[in-house]
Amino acid sequence: MSYIVDSHWVKDQIERLGENLVLADCRFVLGQSESGRNAYAESHLPGAIYVDLEKDLSAPVGEHGGRHPLPDPQLLAGRLGQLGIRSSSTVVAYDDQGGAMASRLWWVLHYLGHDKVSVLNGGFAQWVKDGYETTKVIPDPTPRTYVPQIREGLLLHAEDVKARLHRPGTILVDSREPKRYLGLEEPIDKAAGHIPGAVNLFWKEVLTTQGLWKNEEDLKGHFAQLPSDREIVVYCGSGITACPNVLALKSAGFADVKLYAGSWSDWISYSENPIATGSE
């Protein structure tokens, strides 16, 4: 199953799979916590459930863990089951934020051992542009039992990243916009800069100027500076916009890609952790 699917494929699967297909509306605007849910209430894909970035896919903020801590896997599995997702479901996630929020659900499900999950190319806007039906009807999903098969190797914590600093076999990828990576500005977190040794690959560069995902060959070109035989560790500000980079790297054929879920906001919560500024 492809990581990226188009609206025509989704339309066909709605008719073919019925309740075995789960459409997940992941629209969410950081700093405007109700905007995504309000957009969902106004119009969404037929049968789609709403998956809230902060209420469903993040744990409460603590001293460490970053601005969007990853919940305990068993709690994640329980919440997904309540939303009507089971281990055998085919899941298609979509948003209207370039795939950033949908990619978080994509990554979470992969982490829990789920393979049949994709992101809708172009999101809700592309679905509408292609002329397909939307609805205001909010479904009442039947609770399922979600049995996770956790892939521990996909997730890193601060101590894991610190142990890998300047390790020849590991490449750190910072997914934030260049000004934040360079330390020129920091509008969200309490310290500016990046993890020492990280290279900057802004996540939005995996998209075309039309807001669609680049194809496999273009993604390979985009990531050409990264050796394909290395361990790639991806982070961002809080573990959200790193996920589209993880998805794009996997689509480009990189095998060993890990997420530092706590990301920069977690890294700087440890006063002893080193900080770099400028280019690497």
Catalytic residues: 236
Pair 240, 247: CB distance under 8 Å: no
| β-sheet with 4-5: strand ranges across | 4-5, 117-120, 90-94, 21-25, 49-50
* 8 Å CB contact between 264 and 176: yes
Among 32, 43, 221, 34, which Cα is nearest to 123's?
43
CA distances from 112 to 74, 116, 191, 226, 229 (A): 9, 12, 32, 27, 24
Q: Is 162 exposed, middle or buried (0-12, 13-18, 19+ CB in 10 A)?
A: middle
Contact call for residues 196 and 276 (beta carbons, < 8 A): yes
What lies within 8 Å, CB to CB, of 134 at 6+ separation is 43, 44, 45, 46, 127, 128
Dist. CA 258–CA 140, nearest whole Å: 35
Integer Cα distance of 4 and 255 in angstroms? 17
Give the orientation angle of helix 73-82 with respect to helix 100-111, to 10 degrees: 110
CA 65 to chain centre: 16
Neighbouring-strand partners of residue 135: 44
Give the max Cα distance, the chain: 55
